[in-house]
Structure 1
Amino acid sequence: MRILLVNVPHPAIGSLIPSDHLPPLGLLAIGGPLIDDGHDVRLLDAEFGPTSTAQIVGQARDFRPDAVLFGHSGSTSGHPVIAEVAQAIAHAIPGTRIVYGGVFPTYHWREILDAEPYVTAIVRGEGEETARRLMTALADGDDLAGVHGIAYRRAGQACATPPAVVIGDLDAYRIGWELIDHARYSYWGGLRAVVVQFSRGCPHLCSYCGQRGFWTRWRHRDPVLFAKELARLHREQGVRVVNFADENPTVSKKVWQTFLEALIAEEVDLILVGSTRADDIVRDANILHLYKQAGWDRFLLGLENTDDATLALIRKGAATPTDREAIRLLRRHGILSMATWVVGFVEETDRDHWRGLRQLLSYDPDQIQMLYATPHRWTPYFGQAAERRVITTDRRHWDYKHQVLANRNMPPWRVLLWFKFTELVLQARPKAMFRTFFERRGRLRHAMQWYTRIGRRVWPYEIWQFLRARHLKTGPTVGEFWGDGQVVDENAMATSRQRRQLPNQSAA
């Protein structure tokens, strides 16, 4: 089959502002196995430009695909764009099968199949093996009921097949790196870059995150083989920056140390960036020198909040002394810390914002990433926020960078003021400015300055977008807008046996 993988242009601010672009790992992960099965596969990355819908349709028509596969890491906020482009392609190329995968369609498959007749099937959960079997069934004209892990229409009604078997060996499916021109993708200020995934899932119970439910359990690549792959990308493709897509790659200290030592042995000059938990950093205090030797330059630490009651509400399982110690340890080893701070888990007051700002200053992170609480139906947090009002029904704004929840204690404009004021104080405080311009290690100084340049563009752009947006004074509740919560289906891709082994996860 001729298969076209489409990465649509995402409306998120992070996609619109930077001049750097990272490759769409999810689609490349599907592309490798499909190529190995003998399909003629092409990637259309519409993030460049960005490419208009008309241009995407034109390029698709030129390729004449038998199937067009969509998927996007942006998930909820990316869905309106995918729906528009998929419909346009379906109308322009009659008979083309439209297949859609990712987190959002995994859980919203009923609504999508009911509202979007041009969608042939939805891949639910991880897609490497499922996509292969689905493409084979479509090519051979087989009954889709035999393909586990999908949703489709049977006799005009949306239905789902049993969950696919969770992939045990992540090394059994290769990434289709040949689908991209590595010279077009960069990060860290023009350095050739890729996105990779060492592990999938997360064992922690944070109520706002869907990682555990989507991936069902934490698994990892072979650490030595993974190190060799990164080294090969550096030597053969000139890759300098490796961005880890993992939520929590450091879960197993033993496995992680094996990876670090294997990568150090490869003797390649890589810059590694990614996310992890503060408690893992503190746990690994005695091997942080290996982190640095392997190439780690920045970790995004999901602190989320510093209020103990809020941390308990979202089941973060974190402690403020641990968060502070993790930042101190990273700085001692020459690794930048970017602290994430989420506004809106609860309906904060001015006093709450002021207290949070003071605590963040005491943490002294190198960088700050401010986000807004965004309840998705498949997470327990959705149940906690179900009765709160929505201030925007534009689903493109459900991207963690726009306010979507009302606050009874203050209007949206005042929430924005605290949000931007906190960013300004953290990024422009003397300590941060000194590190940005006078850090003695040139590699870290470059990273700080690169991020600062992006921030100078994003900061006013977010304000401008807020002023242009229409905010509802009395919007629907979260439950009214999205429908019933899906906490029961949070682990929808687990088998019945796996579900019995998962911890109890009520929405309360």
Structure 2
Amino acid sequence: MSTFRILLVNVPHPSIGSRIPDDHLPPLGLLAVGGPLVDDGHAVRLLDAEFGPMPLADIVREALAWSPDAVLFGHSGSTSGHPVISEVAAAIAAARPDITIVYGGVYPTYHWREILAEEPSVTAIVRGEGEETTRRLMAALAAGLPIHDIAGIACRSRGEPVATRPASVIRDLDAYRVGWDLIDHARYSYWGGLRAVVVQFSRGCPHLCNYCGQRGFWTRWRHRDPVLFARELARLHREHGVRVVNFADENPTVSKKAWHTFLEALIAEDVDLILVGSTRADDIVRDADILPLYKKAGWQRFLLGMENTDEATLKLIRKGGATSTDREAIRLLRENGILSMATWVVGFEEETDADHWRGLRQLLSYDPDQIQMLYVTPHRWTPYFRLASERSVIQTDRRRWDYKHQVLATRHMPAWRVLLWFKFTEFVVQSRPKALARVLFHPDRGLRHAMRWYTQMGRRVWPFEIWNFFVRDRRIANGPSVAQFWGAPQDEEEQSMTASRAGRDRAA
């Protein structure tokens, strides 16, 4: 097999969350693609420009110094990260037109037409999950073979953007290894300086939330072998000193049987790990009888995707949850010594001061340990995009479409008042006496550390966001509609892969 020198580039992300904390997590998507490429015999290197962050000129200089045959881009902050990737890719191509540039991730999976039409630096786009598709693409490029018959990519044919047939979802997630050997684990930390990794037990989500930009990308929910996965986490701890494991899953607890098996397998490994991640409140309520196993396995915090406390809004976005379930999930987590972080999304079109006040009171009745506030951000491949397509865009800098900036106008409130409610809600929920008492005096030392770390980070982010809003960010009045800004709805293409065919073709 012909081989390539392949450089994986993780560009610096402009979002607030990436710039304020001192901790950095490894880029799981690039490592997931890198492992199989290493096993195929390619020379693979990761350039993680998040550290610093590296200026564009330094990224280009270091990339060219390694003399790669191909440069692969991808980013977890897909939409807001695209302008940075575009700039870096163009600079590399300008200096070395012979380098093959491949781009993967959620945003390019759906915006492949525009990228290939407007950015000549990009050779091909990997659509959907990338392990097998990237292997096939790199093998063909290294051998000088045509790529137009490779499933799961977009490229140019006679100068026009075209997409090949969708690739099949990977049924056996254990068939590909994450390229942990591509990073120095000592550089990556979370939870206040503890050595950390990002992992996936599962991919996808079976629920129908119509705003979710991830559901269609993964096409269907699957999980790794629970015992093998537990063994991998234990190895990362024993061989690399990993203490914190951040689950990137949308919903790892879908199958109670598989999740129960994983918890027992990890407990049997007897390793001192801190586990954090996201799940649904109804899964926590369902698992009330095994929550002690969650705690014993190392779970310290769950982010619960509540999104809003208004029943009409929950119905609009097809969340499928209930406020009574949310409240019970938080109570059960606290009863079992696990922190709860409630997400709450603002910026829906018809919100008023009364809606914000009612939502705050509901959040206080939930009594979460922590809160993560977000702004509604539509993506054109989701069904929610049609509901928001006529709303006015007030933020045309696509680097700000990261859920932490207001991008849409609301009918009844100016942007500055939405911000005040946003920050006021954060302040009240995190600073109420009950919450402060937990931060200062919680009997569990580990949870006390976690809450203090999050509080310290919040004290830095909170004024930074306000300063940016009034001094640095630029919003516009009478902006284009969402559909004018992003283009026609694309929800008919939401499923990026096909789940009907057999899994991995090992004859590739």
- CA deviation after TM superposition for structure 1 residue 145, in Å: 1.1
- Correspondence 1:232-243 to 2 at 5 A: 232-243=235-246
Q: 1:57 aligns to what? A: 60
- Correspondence 1:262-277 to 2 at 5 A: 262-277=265-280
Q: 1:336-359, CA deviations, whole angstroms, 9 ceiling, x for partnerless residues?
A: 000000002342000000000000
Q: 1:308 aligns to what? A: 311
Find out whether 1:334 has 2:337 as its counterpart: yes
Query: Do 2:9 and 2:49's aligned partners in 1 also have CA atoms closer than 8 Å?
Result: yes
1:441 is aligned, of 437, 444, 448, to 444
Query: Do 2:106 and 2:214's aligned partners in 1 also have CA atoms closer than 8 Å?
Result: no
Find out whether 1:490 has 2:477 as its counterpart: no
- CA deviation after TM superposition for structure 1 residue 496, in Å: 7.7
Find out whether 1:34 has 2:22 as its counterpart: no
Instruction: Identify the range of structure 1 (335-344 vs 487-496) with the bigger mean alpha-carbon deviation.
Output: 487-496
Q: 2:419 aligns to what? A: 416
Query: Do 1:310 and 1:346's aligned partners in 2 also have CA atoms closer than 8 Å?
Result: no
Instruction: Identify the range of structure 1 (460-469 vs 321-330) with the bigger mean alpha-carbon deviation.
Output: 460-469
1:206 is aligned, of 204, 209, 229, to 209
Query: Do 1:195 and 1:244's aligned partners in 2 also have CA atoms closer than 8 Å?
Result: yes
Find out whether 1:470 has 2:483 as its counterpart: no
2:223 is aligned, of 208, 220, 224, to 220
Q: 2:484 aligns to what? A: 480
- CA deviation after TM superposition for structure 1 residue 93, in Å: 1.9
Find out whether 1:254 has 2:263 as its counterpart: no
Q: Distance in 2 between matches of 1:404 and 1:225?
A: 42
Q: 1:504 aligns to what? A: none
Q: Distance in 2 between matches of 1:203 and 1:29?
A: 23
Q: 2:506 aligns to what? A: none
Q: 2:505 aligns to what? A: none
**Counterpart residue type for residue 148 of structure 2:** A
Find out whether 1:71 has 2:78 as its counterpart: no
Q: 1:106 aligns to what? A: 109
Instruction: Identify the range of structure 1 (260-269 vs 459-468) with the bigger mean alpha-carbon deviation.
Output: 459-468
Find out whether 1:150 has 2:176 as its counterpart: no
**Counterpart residue type for residue 285 of structure 1:** A
Q: 1:74-118, CA deviations, whole angstroms, 9 ceiling, x for partnerless residues?
A: 000000000000011111222000000000000000000000001
1:96 is aligned, of 90, 96, 99, to 99
Q: Distance in 1 between matches of 2:85 and 2:139?
A: 24
Query: Do 2:10 and 2:27's aligned partners in 1 also have CA atoms closer than 8 Å?
Result: yes
**Counterpart residue type for residue 171 of structure 2:** G
- Correspondence 1:280-429 to 2 at 5 A: 280-429=283-432
**Counterpart residue type for residue 183 of structure 2:** I
Query: Do 2:385 and 2:489's aligned partners in 1 also have CA atoms closer than 8 Å?
Result: yes
**Counterpart residue type for residue 305 of structure 2:** G
Q: 1:117-149, CA deviations, whole angstroms, 9 ceiling, x for partnerless residues?
A: 010000000000000000011111111112110
Q: 1:421-446, CA deviations, whole angstroms, 9 ceiling, x for partnerless residues?
A: 00000000001100001111110000
Is the partner of 1:224 in helix, strand or coil? helix
Supply the RMSD in Å over aligned alpha carbons: 1.0
**Counterpart residue type for residue 20 of structure 2:** I
Is the partner of 2:301 in helix, strand or coil? strand
- CA deviation after TM superposition for structure 1 residue 210, in Å: 2.3
Q: Distance in 1 between matches of 2:325 and 2:258?
A: 22
Q: Distance in 2 between matches of 1:346 and 1:358?
A: 20
Is the partner of 1:471 in helix, strand or coil? coil
**Counterpart residue type for residue 495 of structure 2:** N
Find out whether 1:136 has 2:147 as its counterpart: no
- CA deviation after TM superposition for structure 1 residue 495, in Å: 6.1
Q: Distance in 2 between matches of 1:417 and 1:345?
A: 15
Q: Distance in 1 between matches of 2:337 and 2:47?
A: 38
Q: Distance in 2 between matches of 1:338 and 1:345?
A: 21
Q: 1:450 aligns to what? A: 453
- CA deviation after TM superposition for structure 1 residue 471, in Å: 1.2
Q: 1:187-225, CA deviations, whole angstroms, 9 ceiling, x for partnerless residues?
A: 000000000000000000001102221111000000000
- CA deviation after TM superposition for structure 1 residue 31, in Å: 0.3
Q: TM-score, normalised by structure 2?
A: 0.97
Q: Tell me the number of residue pairs that the alignment of Structure 1 and Structure 2 aligns.
A: 498
Q: Distance in 1 between matches of 2:18 and 2:218?
A: 25
Is the partner of 1:90 in helix, strand or coil? helix
Is the partner of 1:145 in helix, strand or coil? coil
- CA deviation after TM superposition for structure 1 residue 472, in Å: 1.0
Q: Distance in 2 between matches of 1:212 and 1:415?
A: 28
Long gaps (5+) in structure 1: 499-508
Is the partner of 2:79 in helix, strand or coil? coil
Q: Distance in 1 between matches of 2:468 and 2:153?
A: 37
Long gaps (5+) in structure 2: 503-508
Instruction: Identify the range of structure 1 (85-94 vs 398-407) with the bigger mean alpha-carbon deviation.
Output: 85-94
Q: 1:501 aligns to what? A: none
Is the partner of 1:9 in helix, strand or coil? coil
Instruction: Identify the range of structure 1 (209-218 vs 173-182) with the bigger mean alpha-carbon deviation.
Output: 209-218
- CA deviation after TM superposition for structure 1 residue 41, in Å: 0.1
Q: 1:502 aligns to what? A: none
Is the partner of 1:334 in helix, strand or coil? coil
**Counterpart residue type for residue 355 of structure 1:** R
Q: Distance in 2 between matches of 1:307 and 1:316?
A: 11
Is the partner of 1:318 in helix, strand or coil? coil
Is the partner of 1:338 in helix, strand or coil? strand
**Counterpart residue type for residue 146 of structure 2:** D
